[in-house]
Each structure stands twice: as structure tokens, then as C-alpha cells.
Structure 1
Amino acid sequence: MSRRGFRAEDSLRLRVISLFLSIDGEVNGCGQGTPAFFIRLAGCNLRCWQERGGCDTPYSFGSGEEMPVGELLRRVEASGCPKVTLTGGEPLLQRGPALAALLEGLAARKVAVSVETNGTLPPDFAGREHVASLVYDYKCPSSGCEAAMLPFDAMFVALGPSDYIKFIIADEADYACARDKVLRARELAHAGPRLAFSSFLPALPGGLTPQALVARLLADRLFEVQYNLQIHKFIWPDAETDI
């Protein structure tokens, strides 16, 4: 800090859509249902499920508001919450010095961080060492974006036991895709991430309901898979934006 009180963190900015205190509705290494301060960053490089109603957070596609990293850290401190969930959009689109400074600042404040990211960008960003849990959403065929995913083998071996690969499953084709990836994970000699199946909600006509999806993974003896039910959609079923 200079004599004028300038902090380097205040010279670095991230584009932010929203900040809010809630609970983690999705699986992550810190625990589903854990209270968390959410930092939703702006922008996304995918447009998923265009034939099924589109993304459930389309407002995150905007440019957002530029905020200094120092202000974000102050907002986290003011919340008193020891857990931050960094999400989007696609937060890793803003990887670079500002994101690294945010993660370093959170670590210095002993705040645990999980990062929710799509499956398109490798986990080799600056500041990764300060992330407690990376959660990769693998987009199955119904999303229309499977071709944009990193190769599954590369994704799996780049992640560790506190991380997740979460498959979002709407129908039988999605289930077949996810099941094949689980079987492939068994063949890889790596203590890799946990695997989770998440239902596309609300279930569409002809799609797999949560009950049907759980029945299928049990019948196929995919015992290493954790079922993910988006609990925030049940607590706040009518919410169209962040709580």
C-alpha cells in the first residue's frame, strides 16, 4: 500500500453480474447446502439447450459491472461467510491477474472457494492453488454443446479428489453419454474427481425424471456416482434470478 492508501487489488477489475448470500445448491467439495457468498461473473462462451428453453441464467450473458477486486474482497468480508462460490456465466473466461488476485485475497482471508465452470476451459489458470473445489459441468448431447467440451480423459486426469465432474442429464441419450464416461473413468489410473449426475429440471415430456435417473444409475451399478438434485430450485421454485 502506498502513502495515499492505494491497494493494488483496487487496480484490478472483474466484470460482475451479481453478488449474493445463499447456499450451495449444487455438489461441490465443500458440501452441498453449505452457506456461501456467490460471486457471479459476466459472460459465457456457450448457449446451451437452445431447443429446450435455453440456459437457466441467461442474464449472466451480459457485460455486467466492472468491480475492483478489493471491493469484492470487502463485500465478502462484510458478509462474514467463510465460503465463496465463484460462478457465471463462465467465470474462467476472466482468468488472468484480476481473478488470480481475487483468489489469493480470499485465501489470505481463510475463505474456502469453489468454482463452477463449464467443460470448455482447462483448469490451468493462475490462482488455481487457492481453489478448494472445481466443479466441471459436462454438457451432454441434449445441451447442443457437447462438441465444445474438453476431451473427457484430459478433464478427468487434470482434476483431483476434491473436484467434481457433473453431468447434466435430460434424456436417454444424455444418460448413455454420462454412463460411458463413468465406465471410461474406471479405466483411467488416476485418483480423479468425484462424478455426479444432475437432472435437467423441470423434466420435459419424454425426458428422464429424477426418479427415473436414480433408478437407471442404480440398475447399472454406477455406485461411484453421486446424484445431484439442485436444492435451490426446490427452496426457491419461482425465482427467475439470483436470491
Structure 2
Amino acid sequence: MSNGRILVSPEDSLSLRVISLFLSIDGEVTARGQGCPAFFIRLAGCNLRCWQDLGGCDTTYSFGAGEEMRVSTLLERVTASGCPRVTLTGGEPLLQQGPALTALLRGLAQRHISVSVETNGSQPPDFPGRELVNCLVYDYKCPSSGCESAMLPFEHMYAGLAPSDYIKFVIADESDYRCARAKALQARELARQRPGPRLAFSSFLPALPAGLTPPRLVARLLEDGLFEVQFNLQIHKFIWPDAETDI
């Protein structure tokens, strides 16, 4: 209290729009390792509508308005889970960048919580609080997603990411593979100037009849000598194949 007024901390006064909170595992690549237990904060809203010709996004429920939750409440839920890792996802979490998101990231850092942020390729990586994120995972949208035109220029994306970060590509068909391979070769050249993020390729699942299934994709990676690319298997789709909502 100061001069008769109660001081309200940012954690109490700021809020984010949240779709769901849940304890699970990281189903895809992160710097801390795939399959690690993590507390998920799924924020509401997305600016893209991917895969419309292939059944649509697998988290369309995140497009809604969500529930306003105070940053202090989110920090309490994370602490109560006992998990030392948070995965911030969406939707598109960086649509809510600003004082509330920065306060959340600062509060997590103060509690020694490791933070991974999963984002699409449309938002710049220099958002407020970026220095508090341990791993930023960019999902570059290939042609079959229908959203490649919304991606940042690849060289700008690469320049804004660190060796602990990832750019991942979900590959459904040959056009997607050609796109991802071209970016991998571009990254190889950029890496001659400065170390950059790791790259990961994964198959679109369920695979198309003539698509690049996991065995086919691995074979192509090896045939083309893309030895710096990590194969990414979306293991949550094998653990919970029929799930329509978060576990």
C-alpha cells in the first residue's frame, strides 16, 4: 500500500484469453527433448486457417474467444502442477503478445520454469519477453497447408532464432517436400555465416495415399543428404489417435 492506495502487481491486473490448461507431454520437437512432461497453456485465437483442403487444422477449437484468465491464476496453476516445464501454444500465442504475455513469461522465469513457445511462421520472433523463452518452435507452413504466403521470409525467420530454437515443417506431399528441402539448403548456406535454429521435418498425419509417410520421408532425407535435418514424429497422434480435444 502506498499513499493509502493498494498496489496491484501486473500478474493480478493483466489477463490472457485461454482455451485450455493441461498436463501432458511435448509431442513434438523442443530443445528440452521430445516426450518430456510439460504443463500446456493453450491461448485462444489464430490468424491462419491451415489444411482446409485436407480436413482442416486439428485444433480448430482454439479459434474461439476463450476464457479471460489472470496471469496470477495461470502462474498458480503452473506451480500447483509441480511440473518445471511449460509449453505455450495455441491457436497462435503471439497474437496476444504484450504486457500480459510478458508478465507471464517473467513470472515463469522467476519460478525457474522452462518455457517452450509453439508458433506459426507468420509472427516475428522479436516480441516483448522473447529473452525469457528457452525454446521457440516455428511451424513453417508448406504449400499444402494453403498458408505458405503468410510465412515470414525464411531468412528473417532464421536470423531471429537461436541454436536452441527450431523451425519445423509438416510435409504432406512432394510439393511440401520440395519446399522444405529448399529451405533446408538455404539454412545450410545461412549457417556458414552464423549458427541458427535446428530444422525438423515430420509427415502430415494421417498420411495421404500418395503422400510422404514417415518411412518415405526418412528415406528422402537420407537420399538427399539432408543430414542436418531432424526427423520429427508427432508422437501425441500415436498415443491419443482418436483425441479431438486436449488430454
Tell me, yes or no, whether TM beats 0.5: yes
Question: Is contact 2:10-2:103 (8 Å) kept?
Answer: no
Q: Spell out the pairing of 1:3-22 with structure 2 (5 A cutoff).
A: 6-22=8-24
Partner residue of 1:195? 199
Question: Does residue 225 of structure 2 align to residue 221 of structure 1?
Answer: yes
Is 1:172–2:171 an aligned residue pair?
Answer: no
Tell me the distance in 1 between the aligned counterparts of 2:173 and 2:207: 9
Partner of 1:60: 62
SS in 1 for 2:18: strand
Between the aligned partners of 2:149 and 2:6, the Cα distance in structure 1 is 51
CA RMSD of aligned residues (A): 1.2
Unaligned runs of 5+ in 2: none
- What is the deviation of 1:172? 0.4
Aligned length: 243
Contact 2:10-2:100 within 8 A present in 1 as well: no
Alignment of 1:32-111 (within 5 A): 32-111=34-113
Provide the secondary structure at the position in 2 that maps to 1:46.
Answer: coil
Equivalent residues of 2:12, 2:70 under 8 A apart = yes
1:73 alignment partner, SS class: helix
- Return the letter of the residue paired with 1:18: S
Could you tell me which amino acid in structure 2 is paired with residue 116 of structure 1? E
Write the distance in 2 (CA, Å) between the matches of 1:225 and 1:241: 30
Which residue of 127, 130, 134 corresponds with 1:128? 130
Q: Does 1:212 align with 2:216?
A: yes
* Matched-pair identity in %: 77
Distance 1:115 1:78 in 2: 20
TM superposition outliers: structure 1 runs of 4+ over 6 Å: none
Deviation at 1:157? 1.2
Note the residue ranges of structure 1 that are not aligned, 5 or more in a row: none
Further displaced range: 70-79 or 232-241: 232-241
Secondary structure at the counterpart of residue 122 of structure 1 = coil
> How many angstroms does 1:204 deviate by?
1.3
TM-score by length of 1: 0.98
AA partner of residue 221 (structure 2)? L
Question: What TM-score comes out, normalization by structure 2 length?
Answer: 0.96
Rounded to whole Å, the distance in 2 between the matches of 1:218 and 1:16 is 41
Deviation string 1:24-47 (CA, Å, 9 cap, x unpaired) is 001011111110000000000000
Cα distance, 1:8 vs. partner?
2.7
